[in-house]
């Protein structure tokens, strides 16, 4: 038998949930092992960056890259794995659109470091901040330096496929693994470059089993404040900002089915350029008021509009970050 | 650059039935107004997707003017109310992104109000001029060398 095609998975600025989602495919992971030679997967096995550097270019068939680009180490690995991989997949919301770590783009990076080491709950009387380089007798040591803003993978290197979700649903991961194995065996063809894979092509609302009527919202509320919530009626219709109308399907409307609003982890639906803009449109359409005063009063029910509409998508949105994050250090 | 000598780039969205005609009337009547606005005609202010505004601001515009029919006079019955709601929510989101909400303005102008269109445009251009350039996505002057700025933060006091 010929040598098995090579597989790699890397985590940059992410939480590790994407790795769990891959392992949650249960016995499917054995298919990965049976069909691939796993050459680099820091969370699962020991490997050194220099081993990857020593590989031939394009020698890894499939790399699942999760996590956004937060520091120079992330960027170096993104560029390295791009060079070594035939197929590079932006795997999970962080790599696709920045996800929760992308919300750091609301603040200048200096403020983030300051807050982390200088809030009232932090015991740091001498105001000591970490340095990225330090001289020791053996030479100069470096730790990764934070970049100004968090960037999705696509803003750093060329990406072949996108697989959104926080994390991608395991049944979708399994379907993609099956597809790639079929491609290797010559039984299927790869989708066109740039495709979003392991998803549906509509919105979460389309998969949501709740009843929808004409929405007339007089007051926005938090989910815990609408007791008793109607488990069969559209959540947005009950006045809770639900991100379903702008969010890509693929998760089987998991959160609304469990009684919570969609928070938008599958990213922008097909054809949506700016996720937040689509949600602004959706929320504005359901507000039952026509005078500026009344509309403003209803909007007061959404305490953090920017966080609400860009919870997962800020780094991948048109504006990408706040003005101060761009301008300040 | 000193703001008095700064010429803002403004993208203006007009409604086919009223404000576009108002701008036409201002032109035909040879009214003078600030030339900074690049107009884009929509069928209705209700067509205004907030994406258009974000695209304009992220691609170099310093301000965006949205114009439509007066409330109650929409050619499509009530779509300008949708524009109003989007505009109010969009301004809140823009504030969260550190953009002065005054960079986006909603103006109602009927087809007969050429003079109003002209004066509101001039007024808006002056307001944006005072705010200065937006320069989205570009570091402020003098902050190109980020690494140096960060290293200042990393100094450990004795």
B106 DSSP β-pair partners: B66
Name the closest residue on chain A to residue B93, using Cα atoms.
Answer: A306
Does the pTM of the predicted model rise above 0.90?
yes
Best of B49, B70, B97, B105 to disrupt the A interface (most A CBs within 10 Å) is B97
For residue B107, list chain A residues with Cβ-Cβ distance below 8 A. Answer: none
Nearest to B82 among A129, A273, A284 (CB): A284
CA A271 distance to own-chain centroid: 18
C-alpha torsion sign, points A101, A328, B140, B89: positive
In the predicted structure, residue B147 carries a pLDDT above the cut 80: no
Q: Is B108 helix (H, G, I), strand (E, B) or coil?
A: strand
Cβ contacts below 8 Å, chain A against chain B, sum to 131
Nearest to A324 among B50, B54, B98 (CB): B98
Contact B93 A280 (CB under 8 A): yes
pLDDT for A57-72, tens place per residue?
Answer: 999 999 999 999 999 9
Report percent pLDDT > 90 for chain B.
80
ipTM here: 0.93
Q: State residue B2's pLDDT score.
A: 67
Contact B50 A274 (CB under 8 A): yes
Contact A148 B146 (CB under 8 A): yes
Contact B49 A306 (CB under 8 A): no
For residue B98, list chain A residues with Cβ-Cβ distance below 8 A. Answer: 322-325
Fold of A6-100+151-184: Rossmann fold (3.40.50)
B136 to chain A, closest Cα gap in Å: 7
Contact A320 B137 (CB under 8 A): yes
A309 to chain B, closest Cα gap in Å: 8
Q: What is the CATH number of domain B7-153?
A: 3.40.50
Average pLDDT value for chain B: 88
Reduce the secondary structure of B69-89 to three states and give it as a string: CCCCCECCECHHHHHHHHHHH
Terminal CA-CA length for chain A: 55
A176 to chain B, closest Cα gap in Å: 32
In the predicted structure, residue B145 carries a pLDDT above the cut 70: no
- Mean pLDDT for B39-57 is 95
Domain boundaries, chain B: 7-153
Average pLDDT value for chain A: 93
B47 to chain A, closest Cα gap in Å: 10
Nearest to A285 among B71, B82, B146 (CB): B82
B110 to chain A, closest Cα gap in Å: 19
In the predicted structure, residue B4 carries a pLDDT above the cut 80: no
Nearest to B96 among A273, A284, A305 (CB): A305
Residue A300 in contact with residue A122, Cβ under 8 Å? no
pLDDT average per 10 residues of sequence, chain A (329 residues): 86 94 92 93 92 96 96 96 96 96 94 87 85 91 92 96 95 92 92 95 96 94 89 95 96 95 96 96 96 97 96 95 83
Contact A127 B157 (CB under 8 A): yes
Name the closest residue on chain A to residue B106, using Cα atoms.
Answer: A292
Q: State residue A326's pLDDT score.
A: 82
pLDDT for A215-251, tens place per residue?
Answer: 999 999 999 898 788 999 999 999 999 999 999 999 9
Domain boundaries, chain A: 6-100+151-184, 108-147, 204-324
For residue B96, list chain A residues with Cβ-Cβ distance below 8 A. Answer: 106, 304-307, 322
Strands A60-66, A85-91: pairing is parallel
Report percent pLDDT > 90 for chain A.
86
Q: State residue B140's pLDDT score.
A: 56
């Amino acid at each position: 038998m010929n040598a098995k095609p090579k597989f790699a998975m890397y985590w940059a600025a992410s939480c590790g949930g994407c790795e769990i989602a891959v392992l949650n495919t249960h016995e499917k992971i054995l298919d990965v092992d049976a069909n691939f030679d796993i050459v680099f997967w820091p969370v699962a096995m020991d490997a050194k960056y220099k081993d990857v550097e020593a590989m031939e270019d394009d020698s890894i068939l499939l790399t699942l890259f999760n996590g956004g680009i937060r520091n120079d180490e992330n960027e170096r690995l993104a560029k390295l794995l791009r060079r070594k991989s035939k197929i590079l997949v932006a795997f999970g919301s962080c790599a696709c659109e920045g996800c929760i770590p992308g919300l750091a783009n609301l603040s200048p990076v200096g403020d983030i470091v300051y807050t982390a080491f200088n809030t009232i709950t932090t015991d740091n009387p001498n105001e000591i901040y970490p340095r990225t380089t330090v001289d020791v007798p053996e030479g100069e040591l470096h730790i990764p330096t934070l970049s100004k803003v968090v960037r999705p993978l696509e803003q750093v290197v060329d990406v072949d496929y996108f697989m959104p979700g926080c994390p991608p649903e395991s049944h979708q991961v399994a379907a993609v693994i099956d597809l790639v194995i079929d491609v290797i065996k010559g039984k299927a063809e790869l989708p066109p470059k740039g495709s979003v894979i392991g998803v549906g092509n509509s919105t979460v609302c389309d998969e949501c089993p709740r009843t929808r009527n004409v929405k007339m919202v007089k007051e926005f509320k938090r989910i815990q404040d609408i007791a008793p919530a109607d488990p069969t009626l559209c959540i947005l219709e009950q006045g809770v900002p639900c991100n379903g109308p702008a969010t890509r399907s693929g998760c089987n409307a998991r959160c609304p089915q469990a009684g919570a609003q969609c928070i938008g982890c599958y990213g922008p639906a097909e054809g949506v350029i700016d996720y937040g803009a689509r949600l602004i449109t959706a929320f504005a359409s359901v507000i039952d008021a026509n005078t500026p005063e009344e509309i403003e009063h209803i909007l007061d029910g959404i305490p953090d509009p920017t966080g609400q509409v860009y919870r997962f998508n800020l780094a991948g949105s048109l504006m990408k970050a706040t003005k101060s994050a761009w301008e300040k250090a | 650059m000193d703001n008095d000598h700064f010429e803002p780039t403004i993208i203006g969205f007009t409604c086919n039935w009223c404000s576009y005609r108002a701008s036409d009337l201002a032109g035909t009547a040879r009214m003078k107004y600030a030339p900074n606005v690049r107009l884009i005609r929509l069928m209705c202010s209700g067509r205004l997707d907030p994406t258009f505004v974000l695209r304009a601001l992220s691609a170099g515009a310093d301000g965006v003017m949205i114009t439509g029919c007066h409330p109650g006079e929409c050619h499509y019955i009530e779509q300008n109310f949708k524009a109003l709601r989007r505009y109010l929510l969009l301004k809140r989101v823009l504030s969260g992104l550190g953009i002065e909400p005054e960079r986006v303005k909603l103006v109602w102008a009927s087809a007969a109000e050429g003079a109003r269109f002209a004066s509101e445009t001039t007024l808006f251009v002056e307001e944006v001029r005072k705010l200065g350039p937006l320069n989205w996505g570009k570091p402020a002057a003098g902050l190109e060398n980020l690494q140096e700025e960060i290293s200042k933060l990393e100094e450990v006091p004795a």
